[in-house]
Amino acid sequence: MRLKRAAAAGGALALLAVMGACSENKGTGGGNDTDRVQSGSIATDPKESMGPAAEVPGATKGGTFRVIRETKISHLDPQRVYSFAGLMNAPLYARFLTTFKDDGSGKVTLVGDLAETPGTDVNKDCKAWEFKIKDGVKFEDGSPITSKEIAYGIARSFDPDLTGGPTYLQEWLADSPQYDAKWDFKKNKASLPPGLTTPDAKTLKFEFAKPHCDLPFAASLPYTAPLKADKDTGVNLDNLPFSSGPYKVTKNTAGVELVLERNENWDPKTDPVRHAYPDKIVWGFGPDAEAGANRVIADNGDDQSALAWNGVPSALIAKVTSDQALKPRSVQGQTPSLWRLTINTSRVTDLSVRQALNYAIDRDGFIKVYGGEATAKAVTTLLPPSTIGYEKYEAYPAGATGDVDKAKQLLAGKTPELVLGVGDDYPEYGTQLKGNLEKAGFKVTLKSIPADAKLDEVGKKSNPWDIYLDQWAADWPSGAAVLPVLFDGRTIKAENNSNTSYVNNDDINKEFDRVLALPAADQAKEWAKLDQRVMKELAPAVPLFVEQGYYLHGSKVGGIYLSSIFGYPALTSAYVKQ
């Protein structure tokens, strides 16, 4: 009898649990409709590059701000930082030659950080650039930062032992992708790489063999952080960087905790972007995306002043969007990370098949599989909307869920057999695409690729797949960091290709050269035009969506916005409510 009663109670409980979610889902959109319109400029007035940064309304000083993240940050050494977490963390303890003034609204201005202005194009040919260093900028030990230390920082990025960082400056200075063979840092520690000079303590000069109009942008990455030669601990700098920013690393337990405390020698008057409101910033590593989000939702104790770095996982989005109480604690917005279904044009040589793919695509369905409208926004362009000068257009108007009839018409009765390579971490992406494309008459074979090897495998020129998913996020919001990188056929090599569509069209390549030689400010419109041309003439990929960031923070946190450049939470304006 007792057993029966227990069973009945258990059954009732289980039923209740299911019915608990019994309210009708009428499909209220949790999407983020605001299309952040990006407008960007390069500051010409040196006043814009001067501090202090404009106060964030309601911000208060003090307290400990926490960030919860699953894994440790791969690198702290500014010359090696390149992961998104690293890029957002680095401004806390390092200053760069230039930086973006950004408040998350989409209006970004490139300003000088250590430099007085974002660079002077000496001969107006983009080959010689000059930077004047600000007065009053100091390291954590109080010693002044001069052009010598910045040049030393750039020089040490040539060291092949210091892997992981971006390589634009090195390649441009050495005028070769094998920059470390051209100039050996270890043998020439006392000198500087070719083309880099410091005429005096306040001046830094770059001289390139080829024009590089993007230099002011490229100089905003952390590898331009200064370092004193006697503080260079080589690979160990990764554990304890030497600070030039508002905080210094005081404790770093790999994979557990990273503690940043106020650097008293940082002068806010020299800094146009950093606020440094909290006394202490603590990264705690370990909890996965779900645990992190649940902790912040619960909002207990220290978690009240925490940000869940891994965002809202797709399984929790429905719960978070429906909870109005979480609204003021959530940060949503567009990222520059654009997903596309790349078509391997060396295999799919028929343009009409590639165009048919563009018509057949059910972006809405794919976004549902990816995680829903709160995490992705459909695009039809190769440039992400966060690019400066972005113009929206549809080369192949397919509607939200695809135009199957139009695709069939283009295929004219053919049933092209396509092999879709899909990472084995998310096989359901392949399932959805197969179902979607087969409706339009394609025959799709799914082939799973080990997720950790996918990037390498797809980057091989002779890879065996016809279509595969790719994503690209540019390092600065210019078309120059997207289109020539992804679609210039002259860069195709045997392995490690970014041009995974393997398109090589002479007319388009010439256009790339022409636009790249224009001054940075004039390029924006040209890139938008070229984007349309590539899509219409080559159809090298099916643009799918741009990722949307969706983050939660505790009730005592303020000042978090999504960086317009990288689409991740910016930490430089964060504050803890007192």
- By CB under 8 A, the residues from 243 to 302 that bind other proteins are 290
From candidates 430, 479, 489, 549, binder to other proteins by CB under 8 A: 430
Residue linked to tokens 């806390």: 92
From candidates 291, 316, 378, 517, binder to other proteins by CB under 8 A: 316
From candidates 36, 107, 414, 447, binder to other proteins by CB under 8 A: 447
Q: Which amino acid is located at 376 in the chain?
A: A
The smaller minimum CB distance to other proteins, of residues 25 and 178, is found at: 25
**By CB neighbour count within 10 A (0-12 exposed, 13-18 middle, 19+ buried), where does 254 fall?**
exposed
Contact 114, 188 (CB under 8 A): no
Measured in degrees and rounded to the nearest 5, phi and psi for residue 318 equal -60, -40
Q: CA-to-CA distance for 535 and 541, rounded, in angstroms?
A: 8
Binding mask 386-425 for other proteins (x = CB under 8 A): ---------------------------------x----xx
Q: Which two tokens stand for residue 66?
A: 């926490």
What letter does residue 313 receive in the DSSP assignment? -
Dihedral angle sign, alpha carbons of residues 396, 402, 403, 405: positive
- Element spanning 40, H or E: strand 39-42
Closest CA to 365 of 438, 433, 425: 433
319 is a site residue for other proteins (CB under 8 A): yes
441 is a site residue for other proteins (CB under 8 A): no
Stretch that binds other proteins, among 197-205, 219-227, 370-378, 471-479 (CB under 8 A): 370-378
Q: Residue 170: helix, strand or coil by DSSP? A: helix
Contact 281, 247 (CB under 8 A): yes
From candidates 264, 350, 428, 452, binder to other proteins by CB under 8 A: 428
14 is a site residue for other proteins (CB under 8 A): yes
Binding mask 326-365 for other proteins (x = CB under 8 A): ------------------------------------x-xx
Stretch that binds other proteins, among 42-50, 267-275, 371-379, 385-393 (CB under 8 A): 371-379
Q: Which amino acid is located at 15 in the chain?
A: L
Closest CA to 215 of 520, 521, 561, 447: 520
Q: Which two tokens stand for residue 406?
A: 């139009």
From candidates 136, 160, 199, 450, binder to other proteins by CB under 8 A: 450
8 is a site residue for other proteins (CB under 8 A): no
From candidates 105, 448, 491, 498, binder to other proteins by CB under 8 A: 448
Least distance between other proteins and beta carbon 346 (Å) = 14
The smaller minimum CB distance to other proteins, of residues 17 and 190, is found at: 17
31 is a site residue for other proteins (CB under 8 A): yes
Contact 219, 170 (CB under 8 A): no
431 is a site residue for other proteins (CB under 8 A): yes
Q: CA-to-CA distance for 162 and 153, rounded, in angstroms?
A: 12
- Residue numbers of the site for other proteins (CB under 8 A)? 14, 17-31, 290, 313-319, 321, 362, 364-365, 367-369, 371-374, 419, 424-425, 427-428, 430-432, 434-435, 445-448, 450, 464-465
